[in-house]
Structure 1
Amino acid sequence: MIRQGYSLPYLLKMQNLRLIIFDLDGTLVDAYEAIFRSFSHTMQTLSIKGRSPATVRKAVGWGDESLLKPNVQPWQLKKALRIYRRHHSCSLIRHARLFPGAKRVLGILKKKGVKLAVASNRPTRFSWILIRHLKVLKYFDYVLCADKLAHRKPHPEILYKIMSRLRVLPDETLYVGDMAIDVQAGHAARVRTVVVATGSSSLKEIRRERPLRIIKRIDELLKVL
């Protein structure tokens, strides 16, 4: 576990924890191979030079439109999205997987009576493909994606909506993500945030935002609670 500088009294506030909100990609699910294959297919179809896996991975986290937009001409964007999304449905099923220990963590938390939710910048359609295919739907009380809202993370709207829907206060909530924007969203919503260092942001970028904790793997979350 990679520690951050918070005092013990602050950590003891975890005792009133009623809700844990999870980001999806990079936190619970490793879909980077699926995303890279769909991105590469789209670029090849449009006769555009591809990008390296590392470059694509760094651009993940803001939704598929944000992923494609810098790589195509404005007039190509709608077509690029159609190509990407048509390919991505199959790519997710073939190549996405849960991070080791993710299902065990969800199961233990569910048995403890903690409410669980998903807050993702990924489009709703693809989030549901992942959740159903990976057989984790039964663990979640609510799933919300940014395409149903006016704002994407790092705006806190998605966290506010989930807390309101589940009737839980910010100081009763923990948010678990993998990127600097997740910490920014958590701070803006006044929600404690733990970051799993398995996503698109570097440790330097994450530390700059001062999350409650940085952990190396999702199964380390149980040591924080």
Structure 2
Amino acid sequence: MARYDAILFDVDGTLIHSRPGILNSFAYAFRQMGVDPSGIDLSRYLGPPLRWSFAQHFSSGEEVERAVDLYRARYAEKGMHECSLFPGVMEMLEALRRQGLLLATATSKPIEVVTPILEEQGLLPLFDLIGGASMDRSVDTKTEVIRQVLQDPRLAGRHILMVGDRQDDMQGARDCGLPAAGVLYGYGSREELQAWNPVFLAGDCKELTGYLLETN
């Protein structure tokens, strides 16, 4: 049997190439807040929670919340449609489903935001569980997202792996006692991921599928 029977997937940078919509929405929010985004390396905010990202630039909680609201408004209107699947994602998830693995998301996007994106991209029927952040601060970090997902009784007693492309995914998995695999086609570097000693680094979805379905 396969070494894992349940996989938690990050979404941005792991399943979906969402860089254009995210960066455009960040730039919009910063401009509306009176900040010129041209001097900001927005790519560093591909993955971390929104509130953490905006808190690097705004000192008050009210400003951070306003920036989050501006980002989400633009993302809901345009950003969520400015994305595409990474090559091989659909085939990978279908192969894992055929082998009976339980599939869940563990994303920093709120569940209300990620669900229509997964539906638009044709991925929603392939998942048993959609796990994500909350719209408020109650579930706002990747660690908290994973911890909440693990409360689902369908995951009890399973051999679970977290898959992601950024250090937040690796840290969240470690905080929750899970092994993690990294993908190198996403938005994090090899150096960023290797620092967390992942069990596997995949160059593409074909490599990742082979590892996930490899038997003990």
Tell me the secondary structure at the aligned position of residue 119 of structure 1: strand
Letter in 1 for 2:141: R
The 5-angstrom pairing of residues 158-169 of structure 1 reads 158-169=145-156
Residue aligning to 1:62: 48
Closer, same or farther: CA 82–102 of 1 in aligned 2, 3 Å: same
Cα displacement (A) at 1:97 = 1.1
Residue aligning to 1:19: 6
Tell me the secondary structure at the aligned position of residue 71 of structure 1: coil
Residue aligning to 1:139: 126
Does the CA contact (< 8 Å) of 2:7 and 2:102 recur in 1? yes
User: Could you list the runs of 4 or more consecutive aligned residues of structure 1 that deviate by over 3 angstroms after TM superposition?
Assistant: 148-151
Tell me the secondary structure at the aligned position of residue 192 of structure 2: helix
Greater CA drift, 105-114 or 63-72: 63-72
Cα displacement (A) at 1:117 = 0.2
Closer, same or farther: CA 166–135 of 1 in aligned 2, 3 Å: farther
Closer, same or farther: CA 99–129 of 1 in aligned 2, 3 Å: same
Cα displacement (A) at 1:103 = 0.9
Cα displacement (A) at 1:135 = 1.4
Does the CA contact (< 8 Å) of 1:178 and 1:200 recur in 2? yes
Residue aligning to 1:71: 57
Return 5+ residue gaps in structure 1 as ranges.
1-13
Cα displacement (A) at 1:81 = 2.1
The 5-angstrom pairing of residues 1-225 of structure 1 reads 15-51=2-38, 55-74=41-60, 75-147=62-134, 149-150=138-139, 152-153=141-142, 155=143, 157-169=144-156, 172-225=159-212
- The number of residues matched between the two structures is 209
Structure 1 length normalisation: TM-score?
0.83
More helix by share: 1
Tell me the secondary structure at the aligned position of residue 2 of structure 2: helix
Structure 2 length normalisation: TM-score?
0.86
Tell me the secondary structure at the aligned position of residue 199 of structure 1: coil
Does the CA contact (< 8 Å) of 2:49 and 2:140 recur in 1? no
Identity of aligned residues (%): 22
Cα displacement (A) at 1:30 = 1.1
Return 5+ residue gaps in structure 2 as ranges.
none
Whole-angstrom distance in 2 between the partners of 1:221 and 1:138: 20
Does the CA contact (< 8 Å) of 2:139 and 2:145 recur in 1? no
